[in-house]
Amino acid sequence: MTEATPHQPNDAVVGGSGDTGSTPHVQGTPEPEATPLLQPADGVPELAVSAADIARAAEQLDRGHGAFAVDAERASGFRYSNRAYLVQIRRAGAGTVLIDPVSHGGDPVRTMAPIAEVLGSDEWVLHAADQDLPCLAELGMRPPRLYDTELAGRLAGFARVNLATMVQQLLGLQLMKGHGAADWSKRPLPAEWLNYAALDVEVLLELRAAIAEVLDDQGKAEWAAEEFEYLRTYEAPPTRRDRWRRTSGIHKVRNGRALAAVRELWVTRDQIARRRDIAPGRILPDSAIIDAATTDPKTISELTALPVFGGAKQRRSAHIWLEALDRARKSTDVPDSKEPTNGPPPASRWARRKPEAAERLDAVRDALTELSERVSVPAENLLAPDIVRRLCWDWQPADDPVAAVDDFLRAAGARRWQRELVVPVLAGALGSPTEQA
C-alpha cells in the first residue's frame, strides 16, 4: 500500500470573492496540479456480507462522529432493477465500511436496519444524491439531513461538477478513472472495484467542507440548504402509464396498428426483463422493436430475416415476439398516433399552434439566461424547464404579474430562494405593456 497522503483542501481554489455574480475560482482558470489518490489512506476495508458483518459495520460507524459520506453502486444497463449492489459509507473517527446489501440471504431492509439506525443520527453527504437516494430508500435508509456536493457545485457556478473534477479543483487530489459503469451485480467483486468504491467516499466529507466554504463566500448557503431539503423530501410522481412511447425510434412509426405492435413488444420485453432482472435492452434492443413493428412479420422466417432477430438467442424466442405481434393485430385498443399529454406540447410546435406563447417563452428564456449569468447559477437550477414551459403556455395577463407568477411557481414547487430571484424577472418578461395588450 502506498503511503497515505493527508487530504487537505487546496486553499488557492477554495476562496471566493463574496460576489454572487463572479466565480473566478471556478471558471476561466486552469485546474491545479493534483496529487494522485490511488488507495484509501487506511487501505480497502473488508467487504461486509453477512448479517453479522453488517451489524459490526454499524457498530464501527456508531463509534465515529459527525456526518456520513455515502455512496452506492448499481448495475444500470445490466439489470432491470435499480437496486444497490454495494453501499459505501465513511465517517470521521470510524473510517470506511463497504457493504454488500444483496448476498446476506435475508430480508434486505431487516438486515440493513442497524446501518439505517446509525445513519439516522446525522447528515448524509452524497455526490449526485438523486441517483442514489431511491436505491438506498429500498434498503430502509433515509437521510435526516442531506448535503449534495454535485448540486452545491452547480449552485456555485462550477463549469464541471463530476466528482473527479471537483475533488481536483477544491482539494488538489486526482481520483483515478474507475468502474462506475461496471456490472456491480457481479460476484465476487474484484479487488480493484472495491478500491475504486472506497475512494468515492474517501474525501467526500472534505469536499463538502470546501464547497460549503465557496457557497458561504458567494452568499448562497441558504439557497443550497433549501435545495438539499427539497431533494431529501422529494417524492417522484407515479410512473407514467405509456412508458412504451419512450421507445427509441418510435417517431418512425406512423400508424396506430404499428404503435400497438410497439406496445405489445415493449410490454412483453419488460415482463421478461423484470422476471429475469436483466436490463430490457439486453433482452431486445429498441431498434429491433421498431423494425418488427413497422415490418409486421407474420412467420418465424419473416421475423428472423430482420436484423437482430436472426441471432441465435432471438431465434429461440421468436415465437414469443410473434405472439406479441399477433396480439397487436387483434387488439381493439389501438393507440392514438399522438401521445396524450397533460401539459404543453413540445416547444418546437408553439410558433404554429400558439405563437403568443412562443414569444413569451423566448422572452422568459432570455431573461433567465441573463439572470443565470449574473448570479452564476445554471438556468435549469434557477427554475425547472418544465415549470418555465407550463408558465409560458398557460399564462394569462394579470393586473399584478408579480403576484400571479409567484402563486404559479409556489404551486409548482419552486423554492423560496428561486422565487425571490426569478419572480421579478419573469413578471417583467410576461407583464410587459405589449404582453398585457
pLDDT tens digit sequence for 150-206: 999 999 999 999 999 999 999 999 998 778 889 999 999 999 999 999 999 999 999
Could you tell me which of 310, 306, 275, 280 has the C-alpha nearest to residue 292? 306
Residue 240 is predicted with a pLDDT of 73
R_g of the chain, CA atoms, integer Å: 26
CB burial readout 368-386, b (16+ within 10 A) else e: beebbeebbbebebbbeee
**pLDDT of 61 higher than 90:** yes
Q: Is the Cβ–Cβ distance between 306 and 295 less than 8 Å?
A: yes
d(CA 214, CA 210): 7
pLDDT surpasses 60 at 26: no
pLDDT number for residue 29: 53
Residues 386-406: pLDDT tens digits? 999 999 999 999 999 999 999
CB-based contact 121:144 (threshold 8 Å): yes
In tens, the pLDDT along 63-75 reads: 999 999 999 999 9
What is the separation of C-alpha 139 from the centre of its chain, rounded to a whole number of angstroms? 18
Terminal CA-to-CA distance of the chain, rounded, Å? Answer: 73
> Of 183, 165, 186, 166, nearest to 47 (Cα)?
186
Query: Could you give the domains of the chain?
Result: 11-233 (3.30.420.10), 243-330 (1.10.150.80), 347-436 (1.10.150.80)
Tell me: pLDDT of 34 over 90: no
